[in-house]
């Protein structure tokens, strides 16, 4: 397994002192980074955070493999119902290891399709159901809390759709992944006898791809989960190293911390030059946003920190985003992801058309072109004082992807340490969820229903603007009292 981190273009020698990190910056911050590593290690040793231990959980790996072997051949579609950290990891694995959507190849019982229902868009869910056959579908409901409105509602629809066709046999075609000791999904799964897997309480959703949350769907679609864990274990060992020159996660965290807090780079662009890593980019976007966007430090000081993650795809987004990246505000740090040995080179035929735009490409390969485009984009950004780095994966296979995902989880955790924030909670999403519960009539959320009504009244009353007129937001909501 080989992953390299090329940080050269993050350095001030390459992009200038105002935009890059100097050797002196690194010397001054190394102690802080190592202290963060030590603190995070002791929090993990105390059992507060569990993702670093996941690659070593043999028992779970074996149980999942056993179950996957038992049911193999009885379905051609796995329908995963989950959202956020309960869906994005599976998508990253599917896209990375079985090919980008929608060009994965014909699905069958030997090559089951993974359909991920992670949105309550009624047309999306309705169309997905129309595209599946309940007799050949294994449904997988994933929710750590066991109560996420989107997941529960979609699950009820899918279960009903299965029951219409399968009747009592439905329960044998449903798998649940949830917390072991709490939550209504756990209670229902026990009552109905669903095959159930658990994730440890000390593993949060966005850090759960190597727990049952990601491993169950992966095993069900034929991914070798043992190899995923092997790669992740190697990176875990490396990430505990106190040698900041070789500990890629710690080093990347420190450099990005400096770019963010000292050089004003408030946006982090993940730029994979591989469609197979596109799912990983969307997974990373959640990991970085939810973990590092926080109101307060661990001591309670109000800081409102956050580096906005953006996902861009190379070369596609060179024709969509790069104009902004080159000439817009100097507020971005870039992380390119490239693959040294793509599985298909895609040769460009040898032709002599006599036309300049065609003939220079003759006999090359798309692998060479995409690499040239990535290197050129990095060079252009560097000339324009835009700090950028590159993570090179030797190839994309189970071992490399498992390692890469774990590497980013460690980097995120170390960044949380450097910023002195809790990277593992997500208080910020709670209020919106509570309003939704209130609007959907859930018991115990009456206070939020009233608060929402006050908000709507305020909107209906209109807001006074600088011109002195009250502007009403259309359509004005009906007064409730
Ligand atoms: O990272 C997180 O904790 C969240 O994104 C959760 O994964 C997401 O909210 C889904 O939660 P649950 O698994 O409880 O349905």
Any idea what the CATH number is for the domain that residue 85 is in?
A: 3.40.50.10490
Q: Counting atoms of ligand 1 from 1, which one is nearest the CA of 142?
A: 13
Q: With respect to residue 476, please indicate whether it lies within any of the assigned structural domains.
A: no
Q: Rounded CA gap, 286 and 10, in Å?
A: 23
Select which of 319, 352, 443, 478 is catalytic.
319
Q: Is the pLDDT of residue 94 over 50?
A: yes
Residue 470: pLDDT band with limits 50, 70, 90:
low
pLDDT at 212: 98
Q: What percent of the chain has pLDDT over 70?
A: 96
Please indicate whether residue 433 is annotated as part of the active site. Answer: yes
Contact 146, 196 (CB under 8 A): no
How is residue 333 annotated by DSSP? E
Domain match, 190 and 115 both:
yes
Q: What percent of the chain has pLDDT over 90?
A: 91
Burial class (CB in 10 A: 0-12, 13-18, 19+), 43: middle
CA distances from 421 to 40, 263, 298, 404, 465 (A): 12, 20, 5, 23, 38
Pocket lining: 143 vs ligand 1, CB cutoff 6 Å:
yes
Asked which of 388, 411, 427 is the last residue of a domain, the reply is: 427
pLDDT at 105: 84
- Residue 145's Cα: distance from chain center in Å? 18
Pocket lining: 85 vs ligand 1, CB cutoff 6 Å:
yes
Separation of CA 478 and ligand 1 centre (Å): 34
Pocket lining: 231 vs ligand 1, CB cutoff 6 Å:
no
Q: Rounded CA gap, 198 and 267, in Å?
A: 35
The whole-model pTM stands at 0.95
pLDDT at 325: 98
Residue 104: pLDDT band with limits 50, 70, 90:
confident
Pocket test for ligand 1, best of 140, 143, 144, 413 (most atoms within 8 A of CB): 144
Domain match, 7 and 100 both:
no
Domain match, 299 and 193 both:
no
Q: Counting atoms of ligand 1 from 1, which one is nearest the CA of 183?
A: 14
Q: Which long-range contacts (CB under 8 A, 24 or more apart) does 152-160 make?
A: 152/184, 152/185, 153/120, 154/81, 154/117, 154/120, 154/125, 155/81, 157/125, 157/129, 158/79, 158/81, 158/117, 158/129
* Protein residue closest via CA to atom 8 of ligand 1: 84
Mean per-residue pLDDT for 367-390? 97
Pocket test for ligand 1, best of 80, 81, 84 (most atoms within 8 A of CB): 84
Tens digits of residue pLDDT in 253-311: 999 999 999 999 999 999 999 999 999 999 999 999 999 999 999 999 999 999 999 99
Q: Counting atoms of ligand 1 from 1, which one is nearest the CA of 85?
A: 7
Q: With respect to residue 67, please indicate whether it lies within any of the assigned structural domains.
A: no
In the chain, how many domains are there?
A: 2
Select which of 198, 433, 456, 457 is catalytic.
433
Q: With respect to residue 214, please indicate whether it lies within any of the assigned structural domains.
A: yes
Domain match, 27 and 148 both:
no
Among 101-115, 135-149, 212-226, 414-428, which stretch is predicted with the lowest mean pLDDT? 101-115
Domain match, 212 and 264 both:
no
pLDDT at 279: 97
- Beta strands of 239-394 (E only): which ranges? 267-272, 294-296, 302-305, 308-311, 332-339, 388-393
Domain match, 277 and 185 both:
no
Q: Rounded CA gap, 23 and 25, in Å?
A: 5
Select which of 7, 290, 398, 409 is catalytic.
290
Residue 471: pLDDT band with limits 50, 70, 90:
low
Domain match, 251 and 389 both:
yes
Residue 343: pLDDT band with limits 50, 70, 90:
confident
Q: With respect to residue 113, please indicate whether it lies within any of the assigned structural domains.
A: yes
Whether omega before 393 lies within 30 degrees of 0, making that bond cis, reads no
Among 1-10, 117-126, 472-481, which stretch is predicted with the lowest mean pLDDT? 472-481
Domain match, 253 and 217 both:
no
Asked which of 391, 407, 427 is the last residue of a domain, the reply is: 427
Domain match, 266 and 213 both:
no
pLDDT at 481: 41
Q: With respect to residue 56, please indicate whether it lies within any of the assigned structural domains.
A: no
Pocket lining: 409 vs ligand 1, CB cutoff 6 Å:
no
Q: Counting atoms of ligand 1 from 1, which one is nearest the CA of 178?
A: 13
* Protein residue closest via CA to atom 9 of ligand 1: 84
Pocket lining: 148 vs ligand 1, CB cutoff 6 Å:
yes
Domain match, 217 and 250 both:
no
Q: Counting atoms of ligand 1 from 1, which one is nearest the CA of 213?
A: 13
Separation of CA 204 and ligand 1 centre (Å): 7
* Protein residue closest via CA to atom 2 of ligand 1: 205
Separation of CA 446 and ligand 1 centre (Å): 24
Pocket lining: 60 vs ligand 1, CB cutoff 6 Å:
no
Helix or strand or coil: residue 294?
Answer: strand
Tell me the residue range of the domain where 214 lies. 73-221
Pocket lining: 206 vs ligand 1, CB cutoff 6 Å:
yes
Q: Counting atoms of ligand 1 from 1, which one is nearest the CA of 83?
A: 10
Please indicate whether residue 352 is annotated as part of the active site. Answer: no
Q: With respect to residue 333, please indicate whether it lies within any of the assigned structural domains.
A: yes
pLDDT at 472: 58
Q: With respect to residue 410, please indicate whether it lies within any of the assigned structural domains.
A: yes
Domain match, 101 and 32 both:
no
Please indicate whether residue 290 is annotated as part of the active site. Answer: yes
Mean per-residue pLDDT for 177-198? 96
Separation of CA 146 and ligand 1 centre (Å): 10
Contacts of 96 (CB under 8 A, 6+ apart): 276, 277, 279, 280, 396, 401
Mean per-residue pLDDT for 147-169? 97
Domain match, 326 and 188 both:
no
Q: With respect to residue 101, please indicate whether it lies within any of the assigned structural domains.
A: yes
Asked which of 393, 427, 461 is the last residue of a domain, the reply is: 427
pLDDT at 480: 47
């Amino acid at each position: 397994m080989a992953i390299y981190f090329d940080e050269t273009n993050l350095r001030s020698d390459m992009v200038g002192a105002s935009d890059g990190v100097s050797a002196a910056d690194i010397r001054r911050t190394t102690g802080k980074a190592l202290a963060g590593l030590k603190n995070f290690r002791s929090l993990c040793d105390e059992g507060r955070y569990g993702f670093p231990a996941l690659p070593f959980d043999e028992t779970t790996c074996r149980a999942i493999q056993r179950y996957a072997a038992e049911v193999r051949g009885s379905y051609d579609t796995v329908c995963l119902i989950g959202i956020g950290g309960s869906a994005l990891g599976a998508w990253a694995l599917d896209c990375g290891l079985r090919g980008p959507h929608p060009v994965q190849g014909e699905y069958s019982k030997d090559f089951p399709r993974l359909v991920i229902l992670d949105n309550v868009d009624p047309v999306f869910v309705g169309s997905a159901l129309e595209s599946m056959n309940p007799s050949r579908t294994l449904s997988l409901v994933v929710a750590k809390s066991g109560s996420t409105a989107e997941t529960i509602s979609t699950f009820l629809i899918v279960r009903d759709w299965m029951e219409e066709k399968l009747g009592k046999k439905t329960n044998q075609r449903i798998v649940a992944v949830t917390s072991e000791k709490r939550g209504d999904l756990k209670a229902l799964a026990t009552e109905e006898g669903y095959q159930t897997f658990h994730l440890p309480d000390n593993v949060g959703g966005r850090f759960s791809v190597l727990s049952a949350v990601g491993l169950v769907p992966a095993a069900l679609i034929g991914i070798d989960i043992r190899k995923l864990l092997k790669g992740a274990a190697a990176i875990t060992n490396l990430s505990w190293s106190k040698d900041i020159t070789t500990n890629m996660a710690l080093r990347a965290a420190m450099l990005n911390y400096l770019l963010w807090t000292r050089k004003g780079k408030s946006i982090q662009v993940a730029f994979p030059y591989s469609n197979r890593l596109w799912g990983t980019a969307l997974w990373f976007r959640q990991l970085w946003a939810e973990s590092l966007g926080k109101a307060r430090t661990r001591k309670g000081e109000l800081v409102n920190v956050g580096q906005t993650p953006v996902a861009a795809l190379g070369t596609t987004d060179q024709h969509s985003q790069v104009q902004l990246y080159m000439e817009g505000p100097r507020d971005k740090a870039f992380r390119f992801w490239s693959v040294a040995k793509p599985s298909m080179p895609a040769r460009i035929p040898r032709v002599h058309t006599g036309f300049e735009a065609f003939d220079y490409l003759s006999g090359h390969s798309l692998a060479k072109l995409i690499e040239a485009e990535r290197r050129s984009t990095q060079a252009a950004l560097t000339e324009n004082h835009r700090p950028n780095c590159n993570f090179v994966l030797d190839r994309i296979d189970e071992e490399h992807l498992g390692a890469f995902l774990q590497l980013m989880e460690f980097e995120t955790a170390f960044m949380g340490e450097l910023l002195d924030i809790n990277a593992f909670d997500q208080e910020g999403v709670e209020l919106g969820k509570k309003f939704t519960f209130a609007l959907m009539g859930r018991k115990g959320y009456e206070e939020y229903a009233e608060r929402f009504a006050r908000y709507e009244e305020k909107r209906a009353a209109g807001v006074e603007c600088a011109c002195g007129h009250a502007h009403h937001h259309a359509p004005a909501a009906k007064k409730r009292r």
